[in-house]
Homo-oligomer: A and B are copies of this chain.
């Protein structure tokens, strides 16, 4: 039976509402493992009274690989002193340990960071490193585990998926996504009410995150399931969108709806839009100022001339933990626990993943895949989910999104405001 002395957990990439639930999942699994190990120890040494079992020290690493290189460790037991603190951490948004955007070089090019990390891990007697992140982070898991294997190091490196973008391959979906879907459905349902109060034609353009893949934008189709006609128009980077087609679509919907609601991915390409986002020649960049939502707003104002408003849902869609989906947090935690089990089984260079069982009832099986297969890949929304007109999502997609956003997570409130978990600086 694996009996690690110390393990370390780091977080990387953009914040989500579920990433700390994965941290809790690994922590709890380690503590449980410690209990099982102690039990097995007692059984084996039944004759002796001092059936010692070293507690597993669980380190949090600050700021991902950067903090690892700088040896910034926290002993989580110091902070997670009771179940309330653990529960609070589980539903706290953004990376509690801090994040980084650091990319390991190829070993052939520069092995120095690898030697350094190996040194840090060995010096601190760390038996396994868990890295919670997206496709860039899985690149780190793949490269670092491969390096350690070539060095005959027994240290295991396991990845835990995380991203609101839902664009990791080899997993049904990613922790963090379901909560973002719930935020979008809730907020857009309210924006739809807000947009329909005046007795004049109006267009509301909601700009949603997703530079390469349109999963989040596509997910707004779930509102149809509650009988809402809006959003009337949905555009993904995977589809083919042009400004002129967009204006024609809006004009068309205006014939039957006074208030037109559009969900537009920040990553849509607009081949006929010119240079609005290039900003090449302008230090004060009109380009940078103008996201696609504002750009399309201007187009509607100039070409159609009706009331129009762009709403950028910005970082709120990734950090609004008060709208987290319990299904998402539970899965994020389960992914963390599964990652620990993978390490216990002696695996390295793997990422915990989710498979959806076929059938009517939503059920997830936890599996694992090679981190190298996930690294730097992007999973796109299937073309078949986009309507032939390129401006909507087919009904079949609703059943994919809907289970992911179920369950509420009431925030812990103090004085009418939510409180969050904080590691002391």
A15-B197, A198-B99, A286-B286 known; A322-B416 Cβ under 8 A: no
The answer on a CB contact under 8 Å between B193 and A420 is yes
Tell yes or no: A354 within 8 A of B by CB. Answer: no
Contact B185 A416 (CB under 8 A): yes
A316 to B313, CA, bound (A): 9
**Interface 0/1 of A403-423, CB less than 8 Å to B:** 001111011011111111000
Which chain B positions have C-beta within 8 A of A316? 187, 190-191, 311, 316
Q: A18 within 8 Å of B by Cβ? A: no
Measured CB to CB, the closest approach of chain B to A346, in angstroms, equals 32
A367 close to B (CB within 8 Å): no
Q: Does A95 contact B (CB under 8 A)?
A: yes
Q: In the assembly, how many copies of this chain are there?
A: 2
When the two chains form the complex, which single residue of B101, B193, B197, B319 contacts A190, counting CB atoms closer than 8 Å?
B319
Set of chain B residues within 8 Å of A417, measured between Cβ atoms? 182, 185-186, 189, 222-223, 225-226, 405
Q: Do A197 and B419 have beta carbons less than 8 Å apart?
A: no
Residues in chain B near residue A182, CB distance under 8 A? 416-417
Q: Interface-forming stretch among A42-50, A233-241, A288-296?
A: A288-296
* Other-chain contact of A311, B185, B225, B302, B314 (Cβ < 8 Å): B314
Main secondary structure of the interface of A (DSSP, over half): mixed
Q: Would you call B312 and A314 a contact (CB within 8 A)?
A: yes
- Which B residue sits closest to A92, measured CB to CB? B193
Interface residues on A, range: 35 or more
* Bound Cα distance A225, B413 (Å): 13
State whether the Cβ of A323 lies closer than 8 Å to any Cβ in chain B: yes
A365 within 8 A of B: no
**Is A325 an interface residue when CB atoms closer than 8 A count as contact?**
yes
B residues less than 8 Å from A311 (CB atoms): 314-316
What are 26 inter-chain pairs, A to B, with CB distance below 8 A? A15-B194, A63-B199, A66-B199, A94-B190, A94-B196, A100-B199, A182-B416, A186-B322, A186-B417, A187-B316, A187-B320, A189-B419, A190-B316, A193-B319, A194-B315, A226-B415, A284-B298, A289-B289, A289-B298, A309-B315, A311-B316, A312-B314, A402-B415, A402-B416, A408-B410, A408-B413
Interface residues, chain A, CB within 8 Å of chain B? 15, 62-63, 66-67, 92-95, 98-101, 182, 185-187, 189-191, 193-199, 222-223, 225-226, 283-286, 288-290, 294, 298, 301-302, 309, 311-312, 314-316, 318-323, 325, 402, 405-408, 410-411, 413-420
